[in-house]
Amino acid sequence: MTSGQGVVTRSAVGISKSLFIIALIVVGAISGIAGYYFGGGFRSGSSVISVTGAGSTFAYPIFSAIAANFSKFYPNIQVNYQSIGSGAGISDFQAKTVDFGATDAPLSTTQWTNITNTIGTPLHIPATIGSEAIAYNVPGINRT
């Protein structure tokens, strides 16, 4: 969008829509994976199914919110996520101690090969996006 002065501006709405779409993809993926592995009988039966994940600390807030909302729709499926760091998430996934691992960066070729050789081809699902900021002081600039 361009204002009358020729300045290009963007609305923050696009970012919210993107995050919403990403969240929907993650919820769909978790429900699809759970349905695939556990036969889809979510509401029938009284046993509790646990899906465990570990990894990225950056992704913890969104995974926590998704898990809470997911359990409202499927109360007998509990999603537990431990924010222990990307490297540990990859290691735990490869060691089969968790059902899914989360990492801040895509798997390297070596990690992909190691996981494929150990447990089979992983499914890589982008779940969230973020940025880093650098703070600095410039001498001579005063706050107003």
| Prediction pTM value | 0.61
Q: Is pLDDT above 80 for 40?
A: no
Q: What is the pLDDT of residue 134?
A: 85
Q: Give the strand pairing for 49-55 and 100-102.
A: parallel
Could you tell me the pLDDT band of residue 13, with boundaries at 50, 70 and 90?
A: very low
Three-state DSSP state, 97: coil
How many domains does the structure of the chain reveal? 1
Whether 139 is in a domain gets the answer no
Specify the CATH number for the domain of residue 51: 3.40.190.10
Helix axes 109-119, 86-94, angle to 10 degrees: 30
Whether 3 is in a domain gets the answer no
Region of 37 on the Ramachandran plot (φ > 0 left; ψ -120 to 50 alpha; else beta):
alpha
Q: What is the pLDDT of residue 21?
A: 62
Query: Which residue has better confidence, 83 or 31?
Result: 83
Q: What is the pLDDT of residue 94?
A: 93
Check: CB of residue 17 under 8 Å from CB of residue 44. no
**Containing structural domain, residue 38:** 13-119
Whether 130 is in a domain gets the answer no
Whether 135 is in a domain gets the answer no
Could you tell me the pLDDT band of residue 123, with boundaries at 50, 70 and 90?
A: confident
User: In sequence order, which residues have a C-beta less than 8 Å from that of residue 70 and are 6 or more positions away?
Assistant: 27, 30, 31, 77, 79
Identify the top-confidence range among 1-10, 25-34, 68-77, 102-111: 102-111
Whether 133 is in a domain gets the answer no
Whether 103 is in a domain gets the answer yes
Taking residues 100-104, report their average pLDDT.
91
Whether 8 is in a domain gets the answer no
Q: Is pLDDT above 70 for 44?
A: no
Q: CA 83, 53, 58, 23 torsion: positive or negative? A: negative
Whether 32 is in a domain gets the answer yes
Q: Which of 23, 109, 103, 136 is nearest to 70 (CA)?
A: 23
> Which of 6-10, 17-21, 117-121, 139-143 bottoms out in mean pLDDT, i.e. has the lowest?
6-10
